[in-house]
Amino acid sequence: MASPMKTSEVSLLPTSITTSPWTYDVFLSFRGDDTRTTFTESLHTALKQRKIEVFIDYELSRGEEIKPELLKAIEDSGISIIVFSKNYASSSWCLDELLKIMECRENMGQIVLPVFYDIDPSYIRKQSGSYADAFARHDNDKRFTEEKLKAWREALTNASNLAGFNLQNEDQEKFIQRIVENVLTRMSKKPLNVAVYPVGMDSRVKEIFSMLGTCSNDVRFVGICGMAGIGKTTIAKAVYNRLCQEFEGSSFLSNVGKKSEQINGLARLQENLLSDILIKENLSIRDTREGIDVIQKKLCNKKVLIVLDEVDQSSQLEALARKHEWFGEGSKIIITTRYKHLLNLVPVDETYSVKELDPHESLQLFSWHAFRKNCPEEGYLELSRDVVSYVRGLPLALKVFGSFLIDKRRTSEWISALEKLRNIRPDEIEQKLRISFDALDRENKEIFLDIAFFFIGMNKNYAIEILDGCGFSSEASISDLVYRSLITIDENDEIRMSFLLRDMGREIVLQEAPKDCGKRSRLWSHKDVCDILENKMGTENVEGLILENPETMEMKFVTEAFANMKRLRLLQLNNVDINGDYGLISRKLRWLRWNRFSLEFIPTNFHLDNLVALEMQYSKIKQVWKEEKLLKNLKILDLSHSADLVKTPDFLSLPNLERLILECCTSLVEVHHSIGHLHGLIVLNLKDCKSLQILPESICNVKSLKNLILSGCSSLKMLPDKLGSMESLMNLSLEETSIEQLPNSIVQLENLKTLSIKGIKEPPESLRKTPDSIGLLPASLSGLRSLKSLKIRNCNLLEGPPSEIGSLASLEYLDLCGSHFCSLPNTISQLSKLKNLWLGDCTRLEALPELPSNLDYLHTGGCTSLKEFSNLWSLSSLEGLDISQTSVCNLPSSIRGLSQLKELMLEDCKRLKSIPELPSSLERIYASGCTEMERLPNLSNLQKLSLLILTDCHKLAEIEDPQRKEPIQEIHMDRCKNSYTFMKSFLNLLQGAKDECSGFNAILAGSEVPDWFTCRTLGSEVSFEVPLVLGCKVRGLTLCAVYAGYDETCIFSIAHYAYIINITKGVHWLLMGSQIHGKNSCKNNMWVRHRAHPDMGKWLEGGDQVRVMVHATEAHKVKMCGVHLVYKPDDEKRSNVVIVEDERSMLGNSRAKNKRQRNQNGAGPSNILSDPALFNPHLFY
């Protein structure tokens, strides 16, 4: 049982709402009398059994006010579970807990999971039933103010609208297990590493939250700028950790500037961005232009969170996040940079300039690093203040100095350090940081400098291999550098160093020989290196050299330029030619990275005896060596993208090789049989070696191999029979090979965790040529006890997976898409850990057996023979259901019981005629192309529904009046019979919408702006003066635009957005719609967009001159557009609504004058709303 934190312990903890891990994983809020013995204790026990750290307050007697340590426990929890019961609201203590929980959700992104125990969520949402009784008592209690009662009510309403768990005639034990599994899933999303002691972080994060507009559905770009070491990345990570759960996809791209400098660096960054958000592996982007197109197409309708960290050139922003319209509604883009001017090159909405810590924060952060508590030890207060005053408020410097002084416990040592600080100018921060560097021993200094020049961003273990080869004990040294805050290791196990420390390291080397660069230990300046090589000025002082040459330039040198660099051990070249006697190059080389090496083989006299890592990507090598050489120290050989390489070397000469990377060596036809002697090989990557037809049997002798990547080896038809003897193998990737049958021995791979197979699609008639007796999978799979992911896609499976698939006790992900079996084995229901089941395009599949009850996602799109889904009732955990392009006629009524379902995909279900009542948890419905569908269910209970796509539902006529609290944010109804009426129903919701950040988006068939729009004009622009309406302010804006295309049958892509410019105030913002792709619909598409926001009244005030510009293209011009403003009273307490009975007559005079102006010259007025007499806004009271 987790006990409450003691007050004395609280003072020793850093204040942190932005870092992870939490003090507690889960905070449990509950009404003790209702659920303690019946439910909460069982939930608590189940969570603890799964090693989840829970805070639960078991005090039976509670005072009038909630205790501070309880509030602190809520702040220090990653997830809050609220157990709503009948009498929850009768406890003011519970309601105060709820207030704090919802505050942490709003300000810090805490995950909140409501559990509805024996109560209907609507009672909580509306405060009816027992909740009405409880508030009747609270209303008469003089202790509670009107503001407090209002806050409680809002918190209850907001919490009840969150996706949660509703116990409805379900076995309580299974219900609890669903909650536990959900918590574990959320915990498994590994947070980014933030500062260990995030002093001053909370206020900064809250400011970023405000700038991002986390409650709004606007796309927002926010820049974070400041000097190196000020904490930009740390703040961005903290914000990301708090928000990423709230988005459909998220990506944190670290060190963008450095990574973009690598070969195809921007394209690789685009791949990473898309892979993170789409959760897809093996994405391939050929060039930056293609990447831009894919980003726009794939992300324009997704709500995403993206952080671009350490941007240093405009090209990076242009390739990754150039415009708001690239991303879906509600997306947030954060850019960190040292160069503020870069933020002017993209439409950044807000810029946060990171300020130094104040004196109190600085002392606290310094103390955490120097004393491991939030204040100095006795006798060190004044000394600490002196250090802080000299270092100022730079977090990096405070961390480095605190870590430097932590093991110095004599005041004389502190005084000595202070004397050094006093002798340095206040603005020379690098000199101050050097004091910490000077305190390192010789080996740690050398490793620090090596990292500063060569290894930033490199995998830690990879760097350790190289540094150990240089004679260092680098693992201990790297740990010491981390301890002293001179480097960090990120969540991907990559080495990171701040630019400030990197530049300090380079300055240290520069000072070794300020006027003679040839005498420095490490060379990186392009100009200096070229001068040294051209003039043969190198000396034996040189230990490391970097020369990166752009692909467009030709650069040649001679080997004599290296003759005097006898101690050279780290050499990094790109696109550089060197001619001459290679025997002149240092024999002490440990790491050689020579990309685009131009020779056909490595010269025999190139002495590489001591080499640990050899990387020659994109080389011209055909054969590694003409004569084999014994390289007993070589552990890493990377010849990726060497398109001319025909065969590998004899591996007897490389006895200690651990990583062999030959990706995309498209001419490789042979792997030498001696590979079986590599008893330390861990990784073998042969991806996209398209000419490779066979692997040697001897490969099965490599017992150490953990990762075998053969994807894209399209000529490879079989695997060695004894594959099962590779006892350490964990990951086997066989996508897009020609393998028709796996060896039976594969079941012996007890440690295998992922098996991925994807066939090469053949013409349909080839299926008849495939004998039914031949199966890809062996008859038994029982030996694969560790397998978590099994992907067998487009492999023409005729008989389905074997019945023993139920024995795969660890399986979580199963993908059988593109197969030709008619049924699945009943044993599939035994896969108790299965979360994702993909069956897309299994065109002969006729029925589904009982499926595992813990399934989160079921994908059957394209299963054209599938006619019914009778077993849905058992899938109580299901969050996503895709039955697109099936032959289903009716959905079972049991779908209502899927209380966790968020996404329902019904696209192109041509036989589907109606949809039954749906679960209230639904957020997105995709039903385009359901051409026979005539009726939608009442959507009133779908209060969370934000996206409804009904495009091409031609027969859809009956739509029940959606009595909803809030409008659906985005609706697509192209070519629907009753789309206009349906749209008007949703527009009426604006009168009662409580959420002032509400809005909607609709794409409709139409050739003219509806006449109820106050302003209608030809063309794509309209300017007006905002009318002054006494006692009211602008609440929202509705825009309508009609697009007309030239070609009725073209394939089109229209990005819907508009710029709204307040000329008077000098501000503008983007009104985002969505990007629609389609065919045969280029003419007369009407876009209707409404946006409400609490600050709209500040953005648009009476008398402001405003211009609206709707986006158009050559192929899709804006035929006409219209604008309509919505007002509300300044007095928030006036809540009775006046309904305008005859809108047409109210706006009649305006219509007539507008029409006359259009008829006079055919162009329509440019300032149609400038006269308040012409503008009659809706007034809602």
Residues known to be catalytic: 97
Task: Report how many helices (DSSP H) and strands (DSSP E) the chain contains, helices first.
Answer: 30, 46
Q: What CA dihedral angle connects 965, 967, 969 and 974, to 10 degrees?
A: 150
Strand partners, 791: 756, 815
- In eight-state DSSP terms, residue 145 is -
Tokens encoding 637: 């050989």
Q: How far is CA 83 from the centre of its chain?
A: 30
CB-CB neighbours of 759 under 10 Å = 21
d(CA 608, CA 513) in angstroms, rounded, equals 29
Under 8 Å between Cβ of 221 and 333: yes
Residue 961: what are its φ and ψ, rounded to 5°? Answer: -60, 115
Distances (CA, A) of 362 to 31, 398, 963: 42, 7, 54
Alpha-carbon torsion 1142, 1148, 1149, 1151, what sign? positive
Under 8 Å between Cβ of 589 and 608: yes
Q: How far apart are the first and last CA of the chain?
A: 53
> Does the N-terminal peptide bond of residue 21 adopt cis geometry, omega within 30 degrees of 0?
yes
Q: Which residues contact 1127 (CB under 8 A, 6 or more apart)?
A: 1029, 1032, 1033, 1034, 1035, 1177, 1178, 1179, 1180
Under 8 Å between Cβ of 39 and 90: no
Q: How far is CA 167 from the centre of its chain?
A: 32
Supply the Cα-derived Rg of the chain in whole angstroms.
33
d(CA 95, CA 108) in angstroms, rounded, equals 19
Residue-by-residue DSSP string for 337-385? ES-GGGGGTTT-SEEEEPPPPPHHHHHHHHHHHHHSSSSPPTT-HHHHH
Q: H-helix or E-strand containing 123?
A: helix 121-126
Tokens encoding 844: 């002969």
d(CA 941, CA 964) in angstroms, rounded, equals 7
| Beta-strand pair 924-926/522-523 | unpaired
Match 């900064």 to its residue by tokens: 204
d(CA 212, CA 331) in angstroms, rounded, equals 9
Q: What is the phi-psi region of residue 1049: left when phi exceeds 0, alpha when psi lies from -120 to 50, beta otherwise?
A: alpha
Q: Would you call 486 exposed, middle or buried from its count of C-beta atoms within 10 A (0-12, 13-18, 19+)?
A: buried
Helix axes 442-450, 499-510, angle to 10 degrees: 110
d(CA 29, CA 49) in angstroms, rounded, equals 19
d(CA 937, CA 391) in angstroms, rounded, equals 66
- Closest CA relative to residue 1011, chosen from 1155, 1156, 1108: 1155
Q: Which residues contact 174 (CB under 8 A, 6 or more apart)?
A: 853, 876
Kindly provide the residue ranges of all beta strands, DSSP E only, lying in 207-247, ordered along the sequence: 220-225
d(CA 135, CA 1089) in angstroms, rounded, equals 38
Under 8 Å between Cβ of 646 and 619: no
d(CA 942, CA 963) in angstroms, rounded, equals 10
